[in-house]
Amino acid sequence: MIYGIIVFGIGFMMISPVSAFISALFFRSYLRDMAVSEGRKFSVWQGIIVMLCVFGLFEIHNQINVRGMDMAAFGNSDEHIRGVKLLRAFGSESEMLKSCYGMNRRNNIMFLWQDVFKKNFHYLWDDMPSTEKWDMPSTKRSREIYYRVTGKPFNSVPPPKYSSRSEWWDSGLGGEKVSQKIEGLWLNASRLDGKIEPDAATSYLEWTMVFKNDSRIQQEARAQILLPKGGVVSRLTLWVNGEEREAAFSTRGKARAAYNSVVHQRRDPVLVSYDGADRILMQCFPVPPTGEMKIRIGMTSPLTLDSKDEGMMTIPRILENNFGIAEGFGHSVWIDSKTPLSSSEKSLISTEDGFVLKGDIYESFSDASVVIRVRRSAEILSAWTPDPTDNTSAVYQTIAETTSQPPNQAIFVIDGSVGMKEHIPAITDALSLVPAGVRYGVIFASDKTETLSSSASEKDMQTIALQLKNADYIGGCDNVSALEQAWDMANPELNPVIIWIHATQPLLLKSAEGLTQRLQLNKRGGWIDVQAAPGPNRIIKVLKKTDKPEILSMSKSLGDDIKRILSTSKQKQFEFSRKNLRKEEVESLKPDVQTSSHIALLWANSEILTYYKAGNTDEAVNLASRYRLVTPVSSAVVLENKQQYKDAGLEVPEYKPGKDYDFNDVVMEDKNIGGSAVPEPATLWLLFIGIVLAGIWKMWKNRSVTDKRLS
């Protein structure tokens, strides 16, 4: 019988509280009789006190976490910092992570008391200070607190595994942020193909990605991608039913509206939009349950010239993603050129002639910069290409050597976040060896912004470097206030440069309006962004209509990068100039070489940014649509069929396959784009159910006819 209850009696579990109560009464009677027989005093209260102490030990840690979250979320600036410090010392990272996903219901005594108190004594509740109410922080606020406490973006770690909500609830679906990590969604394949034109000093890369969904429902893959310096997205494709489809380029609002419309229909769109300087946001939906989705992003970028005979570029990187990348995952790379190539990445191997660089990169593209170097002819300083949108025009490019003046004032803004800890030795070594003749300022962005010096000499910097080496690097810190102070400290007469060295900045912890104002009013002075640790940078994203900062192309040595910035010798630089002229005028200039149309795309991108910063949005939109580029005013979207493009008011391009992709291979036509040939899984299920029901109805009808005949 007992065996039968264990195996088949799962239904008895619902009466377990009653059986536990009966057992407690039985043991209470037994213990009382035993105490009387031994002549000892029996007390119920002793047991109750012990029970409360045991429960209290389990509850106290949870209450500390709740109290810290409340102080950090609803307190003033001082209470906020105390709450963050309390969570760093005693908080539960797993509980904070649950709050980031909106799953942390406070199933504890204080939460039950709060509900009763709010319901029956609301007139007292309304008069209580905010820090005494113990409210639930919003998911947005919880994510800020998680970053402040841990120094990590909440979506850089796997979601809580013990709740099925992490699978079906995606708050970022169709939004403009990467948002939360999705369990079961993976980058399943990654391939980067590229071609470098050394004469034109340009490169074109195509990144093909395949996403796999192991979950039971459709999911959206999202990622923020860092392009090569000065790069722009010039192509986007999506595979629909095994066929590669090209993107339509339109205004940001129109493209996003088309994407969201198709997302709501559970069809197959992909959207790429501008997400800050040299950054894009990629999102595609739906990655089907236990299925895959394949996309390709094409990027045009200029080379950075270290000298007339050598150029360099960095491979694009994933800064933030809502999908997983398995440990040991390999990104396949193949880049070719007409001249020898080399790379900082040891796993990339050159062919015997050196014109092809290939291999697999087994670390995540988000972990480090991979630099590609290419040899070029020092005599070729001008190039041209026909304008792909106008047969009578051409784009003319020149490369000119200039000399930069060294700064007389250098202000360092050092991020105090935990992600900086491993980089501090290299930074302090470089700061202790700064050149003489420059006035130095150092601002440390910790929980509170601290000015270490506003006018230090090279000798003083050795003491400051020691202070930075001994400082605490913990959690995530606000850098906006420190940058504002740096610009207030800058003296325009000294040709100042602000060098911001920081870890990831996944959240904007303070409004950047004050910083934007300073950038727009300070016409003199430079700002160099040195991101020591990989990840998103929300501060850069909001500075849309400014020319600052200059994002440093990182090498493998952070210390060498800082020394290069501070070099007091006059540095040689190479600047590109691109103009759109009449063909006859270009021919009269006798350019050195004719190249592909990618220099025309770079000219158009530069013009679009100029129009955008000047507030001339209409001209910017017209150029972006003509040259099919993703810019601050335009996005690229791929839809599933011809009707969806028509409904959204978008033109449909068609790609003519060739050996190498070029702008001229795309024609603006609206043919051969039909509907989906394979129905969606839901449609197949409905069709199957309909057939089964029709069969049952047919059998029932035939049986009725047979019964009538027999009767």
What CATH code is carried by the domain that includes residue 452? 3.40.50.410
- Least Cα distance to 431 among 452, 462, 399, 476 occurs for 462
Band of pLDDT at residue 675, cut at 50, 70 and 90: very low
The answer to whether 559 touches 430, Cβ cutoff 8 Å, is yes
37 and 52 in a single domain? The answer is no
44 contacts: CB under 8 Å, gap ≥ 6 = 28
Average pLDDT over residues 11-27: 69
Average pLDDT over residues 295-311: 92
Is the pLDDT at 591 greater than 70? The verdict is yes
Instruction: Give residue 103's Cα distance to chain centre.
Output: 23
The answer to whether 281 touches 299, Cβ cutoff 8 Å, is no
133 and 102 in a single domain? The answer is yes
Q: Does residue 448 sit within a domain?
A: yes
**Lowest pLDDT segment from 40-49, 125-134, 348-357:** 125-134
Average pLDDT over residues 323-329: 83
Condensed to tens digits (0 to 9), the pLDDT of residues 479-502 reads 999 999 999 999 988 889 899 999
Q: Does residue 542 sit within a domain?
A: yes
* Count of structural domains, the chain: 4
**Lowest pLDDT segment from 260-274, 490-504, 514-528:** 260-274
Band of pLDDT at residue 700, cut at 50, 70 and 90: low
Band of pLDDT at residue 437, cut at 50, 70 and 90: confident
The answer to whether 663 touches 602, Cβ cutoff 8 Å, is no
> Which pLDDT value is given to residue 693?
65
Structure tokens at 474: 């913990």
7 and 88 in a single domain? The answer is no
For the chain, the helix, strand and coil percentages under 3-state DSSP, each to the nearest 5: 40, 25, 35
511 and 450 in a single domain? The answer is yes
Q: Does residue 663 sit within a domain?
A: no
208 contacts: CB under 8 Å, gap ≥ 6 = 189, 190, 191, 192, 193, 294, 295, 296
Q: Does residue 338 sit within a domain?
A: no
Give burial (CB, 10 Å; 0-12/13-18/19+) of 287.
Answer: buried
Percent of the chain predicted with pLDDT > 90: 36
Percent of the chain predicted with pLDDT > 70: 77
Average pLDDT over residues 145-174: 76
Band of pLDDT at residue 707, cut at 50, 70 and 90: low
Is the pLDDT at 455 greater than 70? The verdict is yes
Cβ neighbours around 649 below 10 Å, total: 11
- In terms of pLDDT, which residue wins out, 345 or 356? 356
Is the pLDDT at 314 greater than 50? The verdict is yes
- In terms of pLDDT, which residue wins out, 682 or 424? 424
Domain boundary among 569, 584, 619: 569
- Least Cα distance to 224 among 299, 189, 274 occurs for 274
In three-state form (DSSP H/G/I as H, E/B as E, the rest C), the secondary structure along 94-118 is: HHHHHHHCCCCCCCCHHHHHHHHHH
Average pLDDT over residues 560-565: 74
| Three-class DSSP category at 601 | helix
699 and 558 in a single domain? The answer is no
> Which pLDDT value is given to residue 103?
73
35 and 149 in a single domain? The answer is no
Domain span holding position 529 = 406-569
What amino acid is encoded at 211 in this protein?
A: F
- Least Cα distance to 380 among 448, 468, 308 occurs for 308
456 and 539 in a single domain? The answer is yes
161 and 36 in a single domain? The answer is no
**Lowest pLDDT segment from 236-240, 283-287, 701-705:** 701-705
Is the pLDDT at 250 greater than 50? The verdict is yes
99 and 154 in a single domain? The answer is yes
Domain boundary among 540, 569, 598: 569
> Which pLDDT value is given to residue 242?
84
Band of pLDDT at residue 20, cut at 50, 70 and 90: confident
Band of pLDDT at residue 370, cut at 50, 70 and 90: confident
> Which pLDDT value is given to residue 385?
94
Average pLDDT score over the chain: 80
Is the pLDDT at 446 greater than 80? The verdict is yes
Whole-angstrom distance, CA of residue 250 vs CA of residue 573: 35
- Helices 44-74, 109-120: inter-axial angle, 10-degree rounding: 70
31 and 125 in a single domain? The answer is no
CA distances from 85 to 63, 174, 264 (A): 15, 35, 42
**Side-chain-side CA neighbours of residue 304 (13 Å):** 17
Between strands 202-213 and 185-197, the pairing is antiparallel
Domain boundary among 167, 188, 219: 167
Whole-angstrom distance, CA of residue 624 vs CA of residue 604: 7
Phi, psi of 119 (to 5 degrees): -75, -40
**Lowest pLDDT segment from 113-127, 224-238, 551-565:** 113-127
**Of 154-163, 428-437, 642-651, 697-706, highest mean pLDDT:** 428-437
The answer to whether 487 touches 515, Cβ cutoff 8 Å, is yes
> Which pLDDT value is given to residue 271?
93
